[in-house]
Structure 1
Amino acid sequence: MTEGRVLKGVEFARTGGPADRPLLLDLYLPEPAANGAGTRPAIVHFHGGGWRAGTRSSLGPVTDGFGLTPFEALAEAGFVVASADYRLSGEAVYPAQLHDAQAAVRWLRNHAADYGVDPTRIYAWGDSAGGHLASLVGLMSGDSPVAAVAAWYPPTDLNRMGEQALPDAVARATDPGSREEQLIGAVLAEEPQKAAAASPVSYVRPGAPPFLLVHGTADRFVPAAQSETLAAVLEKAGADVELLLLDGADHMWSLPDGGPAAAEKALAATVGFFRRQSGIP
């Protein structure tokens, strides 16, 4: 990417409260159109890390290790990309994370003219915990709607994650002190209503935006059944949904041979999906 086309550490909101601090995002900007006219579609990305770790510059250590530079790839395809941080569960429990994600989308829409963004073509994308947030942003009504969602291995139904876990799961939502329990600040079995309130499947409705769900069949952290569950509910509601299951891929697209094939397929599918949604040839 051309030097100077990435704007790092842009403040999009503040957390408020006694520990008030800025929330930041990085902007990846495509080259200006040859004729200098027209607006661009935009994608707001939310990182993974189990809601308790991770940063806006990363798609997880394994995926980062493949050297695919997804943000730059999408910018080169013609999208403005905003990768946003949000409060982690050690700082605040849900729905703080959703509020921050919505604030990032709202900021980009309010500043669309500053960065040549078409406010009707703003999309959400996330991986793992970030895919969960992107899905919620897409499904919940409010003043920060998005036109389409892509989610990589997202948690979608917290109450069913434990029962859907693979036999060789590394982590289960029902484990004491699990990432999911830290997110909602409660034991899932004791507070199923809180788990449901933090689950994208609870908000599927007619008129939901198009979805792309990409998941590895060997995911030991977030079972692929989570994406299958959301896809089925979306389809039943009449939504446009694409489900891509990558055989043998674990979380962060890890394969037994250590190669990048699954990550490459996921990225290509994501670029293609957003191109189709935005009308970019």
Structure 2
Amino acid sequence: MMAYVEYVPPPLPRPTLSYANCYVSEPAGYRPLHLDLHVPPGDGPFPVVLWIHGGGWMSGSRVMLPESVAPFGFHERMVGRGYAVADVDYRLAVEASYPSQLVDVQSAIRWLRHFSGPLRLDPARFATLGESAGSHLAMMAALAGEGELAIQAMVNWYGPAHLLLPGTDDPGSNIAILLGGPLSSRSEFARWASPLYNLHELAPPLLSVHGTDDETVPFEHAVLLTEAMRELGLRADLIAAQDAGHCFTGHQDIGGLIESCIDFLDDVLK
């Protein structure tokens, strides 16, 4: 029986795209992984933001923005204010369990830093920015990064502070598939894979932007991260997107949220 296919329209042209389909890595036994890079005009070197897509670790692609965000010129705003943006792919949870996804993001960081010279990137100014599940990976990459994997700033769009979530004892849940088993048998692993339990005194500055009405990842997750970072004496900013659900749905000024993220990056990277 043929599986049902939900047809997704082709992505809109990306006028800021500089380098498409950059070959980053090929994990043994899996598909090759690529990134797309948007670089501002000029000599640089430019700070770079790794954009890490969401989709519950189960779906999504580097070429897709949330429908609620796509009309507001994420790449145009970033590039227009002097940031290179790398759209990163990673293996989904049905392909490989965690930490494969983190390893894939780290491969992209390593590749970008290796070729930072010809790409006009500043290897000392790397930031990760993810949404939802991608934000979980963005924060984990930033918290684990050192040396060639170092990240200087992290931006969290409505990502989970921890993976110890209700319902994850169901072996068919997204998190159970990501972790390779239900929470009842993987609780310590879930803690090890959670940003909240990986904070440390050398963690880079964090900005969390989270909808106050988010029912998928409750707003309290951003509050937990912010408070825990500040207890360590670290910079942690929080923007409460009033009346917004997951993916900022229902918010009246998503463009303004993007600009606020760039303001934060300007402050900590420039």
TM-score (norm 2): 0.89
- For residue 144 of structure 2, the aligned residue among 140, 145, 167 is 140
Q: CA deviation at 1:63?
A: 2.4
> Which residue is 2:4 aligned to?
none
Q: 1:4 to 1:271 in 2, by over 3 A?
A: closer
The residue identity in structure 1 corresponding to 2:32 is P
Q: CA deviation at 1:4?
A: 7.2
Are positions 1:125 and 2:135 aligned together? no
1:75-224 superposed matches below 5 A: 75-142=79-146, 143-159=148-164, 161-162=165-166, 173=168, 177-224=172-219
My pick for the range that moved more, 266-275 or 114-123, is 266-275
Q: Deviations over 1:190-226 (max 9, x none)?
A: 3211111110111101121000001001111111111
Q: CA deviation at 1:175?
A: 5.3
Q: CA deviation at 1:231?
A: 1.2
The residue identity in structure 2 corresponding to 1:150 is V
* Structure 2 contact 205–234 (Cα < 8 Å) conserved: yes
> Which residue is 1:271 aligned to?
262
> Which residue is 2:240 aligned to?
245
Are positions 1:26 and 2:36 aligned together? yes
CA distance in 1, matches of 2:217, 2:110: 29
- For residue 235 of structure 1, the aligned residue among 227, 230, 237 is 230
Q: 1:96 to 1:216 in 2, by over 3 A?
A: same
> Match of 1:61, SS?
coil
Q: 1:226 to 1:54 in 2, by over 3 A?
A: same
Q: CA deviation at 1:59?
A: 2.4
CA distance in 2, matches of 1:248, 1:191: 34
Counting matched residue pairs gives: 257
> Which residue is 1:14 aligned to?
26
> Match of 1:177, SS?
coil
> Match of 1:102, SS?
helix
Query: Cα RMSD over matched residues?
Result: 1.8
**Where do 5+ consecutive residues of structure 2 fail to align?**
1-12
CA distance in 2, matches of 1:5, 1:104: 17
CA distance in 2, matches of 1:192, 1:106: 30
- For residue 49 of structure 1, the aligned residue among 43, 48, 55 is 55
The residue identity in structure 2 corresponding to 1:47 is H
CA distance in 2, matches of 1:79, 1:229: 29
The residue identity in structure 2 corresponding to 1:263 is I
CA distance in 1, matches of 2:224, 2:173: 21
Q: CA deviation at 1:69?
A: 2.2
Q: CA deviation at 1:3?
A: 5.2
> Match of 2:111, SS?
helix
CA distance in 1, matches of 2:220, 2:16: 41
CA distance in 2, matches of 1:225, 1:103: 31
* Structure 2 contact 16–76 (Cα < 8 Å) conserved: no
CA distance in 2, matches of 1:228, 1:117: 33
The residue identity in structure 2 corresponding to 1:251 is H
CA distance in 2, matches of 1:26, 1:7: 6
TM-score (norm 1): 0.86
- Taking only the aligned residue pairs, the percentage that are identical comes to 32
CA distance in 2, matches of 1:239, 1:126: 20
My pick for the range that moved more, 122-131 or 19-28, is 19-28
* Structure 2 contact 17–36 (Cα < 8 Å) conserved: no
The residue identity in structure 2 corresponding to 1:63 is V
